[in-house]
Structure 1
Amino acid sequence: MGLLSEVTREYIGSLQFVKAVEREARIPTHITDIVAVVGARRVGKTFLMLQKARELLERGENVIYVSMDEPFFRRMEARKLAELAKSEYPEGRIHLFLDEVQEWRNWDFNLRWLHDVKDFYIYVSGSSSTLQSSEIPSRLRGRYVSVVLLPFSFREAAGPLGAGGFRDRGTARGLLEDYLKWGGFPEVWLARSREKLVSIVETVFYRDIVERQGVRSVGEFKEVFYYVLSQYGNAVTWRSLRRLLEGEGLKLDTKTLIRYVYSMQQAFLLFQVKKFSFSERERAVSPRKIYLVDHSIATLFEQPMDLGRRVENVVYTHLLRRTGDPERISYYTTRRGREVDFIVREPGGATRIYESTLRATREHVDKAEQACRELKCSHATVVALEAEELEGLPERVSVVPLLEFLLRG
């Protein structure tokens, strides 16, 4: 057994010591583009890559898995790595998994070279501060596809729930209460640990943003950081956000504020949702809403829990998993000035409407139905933590319990 094969088997062997949770995200294989697994820090990117490497190895395919933070590989040239790989697998294409790829000197050049020699199927993952969605296109120049990995969905966190009897429904409700509190970061969910949550957020703050972006005023940025996170689910403009910060005693210019917020977005910590409009100018100047990559982050500044906003954030991330594209999700304001939480544009052009709430009322139904009429969509869904039965619902509006909505996938 060669060096690379031995290293691969050692890494894959480590899976036996990790509690496995079945992920719904899938890594495509046997494609010529580089597959980049991207997402927030500690959402399970390495685990997903190792699972795929093991699966391919068990099917008898040529597989090499290397973590580029090992000193031996960090300074190795791409040509040398390719020679080693081909000495162990002389025939056929090799599935080459490269983790912590940001540690590899000249990683973008090396990946382009490996891609162009056409001897490898290439899969990469690494720090969210390096494999940012804004950098991959320029660094890899169109030679890639990305797989965005988010924290656990509720369905992933809950696992198999049985045949759906009253015991399973009771278990599911209890798990949903836990999920609304602890969220879906794997180690936080499995340990139900606030300490681990703090560790993740602080690591993102210092390593993925402060160090990466070269932030000089760390104290100033820290105040902005937590204040912006605390505004999740709210509609804000740059001007209104700046004024809110001034009310907290922090004065900074709009350009600096925009830079701080976008650095948080590039680290996959938050998403910005724009207003739905057929006018690009209106979308640009209208308030935007902020959502967290995982609602558990709100635990660090929110006491007591704002359950309504958490439910809204959970519905957002669930829709994001479905669509795979944050640009397809907007919010909407009806002609009467009533805000509807989410408008999803399907690839075929269809429009779906979603309204989230703690308890469904006639007002929520009427608002969703009005948006449906204005946008000429076929269906609207009101997602409620408590979905009491309402009589006389419009034909194109349904009320769905949050639990059922999240388990549908």
Structure 2
Amino acid sequence: MEISLFFQEQQKLLRHVSPRIKRSLFAHIDWSQRLIGIIGQRGVGKTTLMLQALKEQYGTSDHALYISVDNPFFKAISLYEFAIHFEQLGGKTLYIDEVHKYSDWSSHLKSIYDSTQLNIVFSGSSMLQIHAQEADLSRRAIIHRLANLSFREYLSLIGAGTFPAISLGELFAQHTSMAGEVAAHIKPLKHFNDYLAHGCYPFICEGPDTYQSKLVSIINQILESDLPYVTQIPVTQIDKLKKLLYLLAESAPFEPNISKLAAMTEISRATMGDYLRYLEQASLLQRVPSATKGTGRIRKPEKIYLYNTNLACAINKTPHIGTSRETFFVNQIKSSFYNTTSLLDTSIALSANGDFRIDNQFTIEVGGKNKGYGQIKDIADSYLAVDDMETGFKNTIPLWLFGFLY
């Protein structure tokens, strides 16, 4: 089995990987764990994260190897046998990219974990359902989800400024001074508008002119390749899913009526719920439940948003400004909670009074700079998240500052 070609390809990739700027998730991963999974949407930077870890820990050593099982080589070779051979050659850590493209991948990872001393880092689409696999990886694998770029990470990536991440508690208690510190170095509103249009994915470094076409290509790859491969959705349904995304992109935002949505897209009502769940797992949309208690919040989401504002701009060139504000807010809050361990996702829900309820404590109303406080004035821990504002005052917080949570 010829492995030298993979090492040659790896050296080419490492020459183009900079250790200077790392996603915030990098520091939260314990790279010494034996089986690490990194899941996330196409284009968010999973491959770069893995290569940065390899380069930092091993340099040009042959003790670590990066492979992508999307390579045709793995159509004819066992991933398990490849790993065994790599260990026999002195290998210590195997980085496996696009693992969901390999048939019966979980069984192979389980066998590698049980039969070798290799450390394994694998990445794949957020479609991966680790706990549902026949080979139970949930007791072995530590899974991390990589979100799209936060506004803070975007500023660092484009060289506008490097700022520390802040916690929710710090944001609510110290937002005036924190916003002032940022505003002393950059013009946050100028960069924020750019971020909403083309700042959620690292390939912004390749220039804004081709950004949306690349993002449309990613959407098509998810719908035409990833979804049918992982979920067995018939290819004949893909155009209907595209129509569904377009309808969501032009809504402000979409309050789901499953029967009406099924009729508009020609998707059966019986399968619409499954398709919405698949699109959410693929990081193309987000569902926000109501804050009501009980099983109702699990069964029926109250509002549906696209995953981020860049998707809305790529699909619908002129997205509704109010929807963009809420989409940004939902995206940054949910992303900041991705790797928080809990039985239920309590990061964000719709509020009976304001727009959103955060972490079962804070009530938030999102709007423009003329947004009034009257609707939530008598509610404890209530705040306005306001667009077109550089610094806030008391319980009024600049919307852009919620992009500093990770």
Return the TM-score normalized by structure 2: 0.79
Unaligned 5+ segments in structure 2 are 164-180
Distance 1:300 1:162 in 2: 27
1:236 paired to 2:256: yes
SS at match of 1:327: coil
**Displacement of 1:124:** 0.6
**Displacement of 1:203:** 1.6
Report Cα offsets for 1:171-212 as digits up to 9, x if no partner: x33221111111412225642122112211122221122454
How much identity, in percent, do the aligned residues show? 22
**Displacement of 1:21:** 4.6
Distance 2:283 2:364 in 1: 23
Change in 2 beyond 3 A, CA 1:405/1:217? closer
Is 2:249–2:306's contact at 8 Å kept on the other side of the alignment?
yes
1:289 paired to 2:303: yes
Is 2:107–2:135's contact at 8 Å kept on the other side of the alignment?
no
Aligned counterpart for 2:95 among listed residues 97, 110, 124: 97
**Displacement of 1:389:** 8.1
**Displacement of 1:123:** 0.9
Q: Bigger relative contact order, structure 1 or 2, given CA contacts below 8 A and separation 6+?
A: 2
Is 2:250–2:320's contact at 8 Å kept on the other side of the alignment?
no
2:403 corresponds in structure 1 to 406
Is 2:385–2:397's contact at 8 Å kept on the other side of the alignment?
yes
Change in 2 beyond 3 A, CA 1:85/1:369? farther
1:341 corresponds in structure 2 to 356
1:263 paired to 2:259: no
Is 1:74–1:103's contact at 8 Å kept on the other side of the alignment?
no
Change in 2 beyond 3 A, CA 1:135/1:230? farther
Distance 1:86 1:138 in 2: 22
Change in 2 beyond 3 A, CA 1:328/1:298? same
SS at match of 2:324: helix
Aligned counterpart for 2:349 among listed residues 331, 353, 357: 331
Unaligned 5+ segments in structure 1 are 346-350, 373-378
2:154 corresponds in structure 1 to 157
1:384 corresponds in structure 2 to 386
Greater radius of gyration (CA) = 1
**Displacement of 1:57:** 0.3
Report Cα offsets for 1:115-174 as digits up to 9, x if no partner: 113502211113445x2467458653532221111221111111152695867322x332
SS at match of 2:22: coil
Change in 2 beyond 3 A, CA 1:64/1:162? closer
Distance 2:268 2:212 in 1: 34
Distance 2:80 2:6 in 1: 19
Is 1:74–1:105's contact at 8 Å kept on the other side of the alignment?
no
Change in 2 beyond 3 A, CA 1:400/1:133? farther
SS at match of 2:366: strand
Residue pairs, 1:76-115, within 5 angstroms: 76-89=77-90, 94-115=92-113
1:41 corresponds in structure 2 to 42
Q: Which amino acid aligns with 1:310?
A: S
Aligned counterpart for 2:31 among listed residues 20, 29, 32: 29
SS at match of 2:305: strand
1:124 corresponds in structure 2 to 122
Change in 2 beyond 3 A, CA 1:101/1:228? same
Distance 1:284 1:79 in 2: 38
Deviates more, 1:297-306 or 1:49-58: 297-306
Aligned counterpart for 2:194 among listed residues 178, 183, 208: 178
**Displacement of 1:113:** 0.6
**Displacement of 1:255:** 1.0
Q: Which amino acid aligns with 1:304?
A: T
Aligned counterpart for 1:358 among listed residues 361, 368, 372: 368
**What CA RMSD, in Å, does the superposition of the two structures yield over aligned residues?**
3.3
Is 1:133–1:266's contact at 8 Å kept on the other side of the alignment?
no
Distance 1:297 1:31 in 2: 34
2:144 corresponds in structure 1 to 147
Aligned counterpart for 1:222 among listed residues 220, 242, 260: 242
SS at match of 2:355: strand
Question: How many aligned residue pairs are there?
Answer: 375
Is 1:237–1:288's contact at 8 Å kept on the other side of the alignment?
no
Change in 2 beyond 3 A, CA 1:30/1:358? same
Change in 2 beyond 3 A, CA 1:408/1:323? closer
1:213 paired to 2:230: no
Q: Which amino acid aligns with 2:85?
A: L
**Displacement of 1:31:** 1.6
Return the TM-score normalized by structure 1: 0.79
